[in-house]
């Protein structure tokens, strides 16, 4: 059941009450009932979770909420289960030209070793976000390698 954010009007995505309860600061989490919640993915909106009558904002959440952060903000968490951030991927890509982090996380998921429902504010596996970040960072780093010397740009 997807609802519309009461603050910005964006359509939310479903999230389990157990995720909301684990993500909220102590005492705030006591207000979470067993109902359906939605996440507001609009970066400019302060609402993170909402249902029919309750709204929980960024300040209520006990971890940095990556989908509310600016893309170049650091640290930028990607994998909440194992602590990998965008800066870790960038460092590995810069040093080695590749990263094994997505494969490593995928293996942990296959082994049933992740806790995304309780550690990731989205309540879902981070692998899609990690892979997207690898693609974005790889493209950006390739662009730096291909930039003409002297800061000149062609065309």
Q: How far apart are CA 77 and CA 152, in angstroms?
A: 34
Q: Cα–Cα distance between 139 and 120 in angstroms, integer?
A: 26
CA dihedral of 9, 44, 71, 13, whole degrees rounded to 10: -30
149 versus 133: which is more confidently predicted?
133
Q: pLDDT class for 2, splitting at 50, 70, 90? A: low
**11 beta partners:** 4
Dmax (CA) of the chain:
60
Domains of the chain: 13-60 (2.20.25.270), 69-149 (1.10.10)
Q: What is the DSSP string of 14-28?
A: EE-HHHHHHHBPTTT
Q: What is the pLDDT of residue 155?
A: 34
pLDDT at 94: 96
Partnered with residue 79 across adjacent β-strands are 84
Return the axis-axis angle of helices 101-110 and 127-146, rounded to nearest 10°.
170
Of the candidate ranges 6-10, 31-35, 64-68, 132-136, the one whose mean pLDDT is the lowest: 31-35
Coil, strand or helix: which one is 117?
helix
Q: For 73, what's the count of Cα atoms within 13 Å in the CB-facing half-sphere?
A: 12
Mean pLDDT of the chain: 91
Q: Sheet containing 37-39: which strands, arranged edge to edge?
A: 13-15, 37-39, 47-50, 55-57
pLDDT band at 80 (very low <50, low <70, confident <90, very high): very high
pLDDT-derived band at 127, boundaries 50, 70, 90: very high
H or E stretch including 84? strand 84-85
3-state SS assignment for residue 4: strand
Instruction: Check residue 53 and give its pLDDT.
Output: 82
Over range 62-82, report the average pLDDT.
96
Is the predicted pLDDT of residue 121 greater than 70, yes or no? yes
Whether pLDDT at 144 is above 90: no
């Amino acid at each position: 059941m997807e609802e519309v954010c009461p603050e910005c009007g964006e359509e939310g995505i479903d999230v389990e009450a157990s995720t909301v309860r684990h993500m909220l600061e102590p005492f705030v989490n006591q207000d979470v009932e067993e109902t359906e919640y939605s996440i507001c993915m609009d970066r400019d909106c302060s609402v993170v979770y909402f249902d029919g009558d309750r709204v929980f904002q960024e300040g209520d959440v006990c971890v940095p909420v990556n989908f509310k952060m600016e893309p170049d903000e650091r640290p930028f968490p990607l994998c909440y289960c194992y602590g990998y951030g965008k800066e870790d991927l960038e460092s590995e890509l810069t040093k080695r030209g590749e990263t094994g982090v997505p494969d490593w996380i995928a293996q942990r998921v296959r082994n049933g070793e992740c806790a995304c429902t309780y550690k990731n504010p989205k309540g879902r596996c981070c692998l899609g976000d990690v892979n997207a970040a690898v693609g974005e960072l790889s493209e950006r780093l390739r662009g730096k390698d291909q930039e003409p010397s002297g800061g000149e740009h062609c065309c």
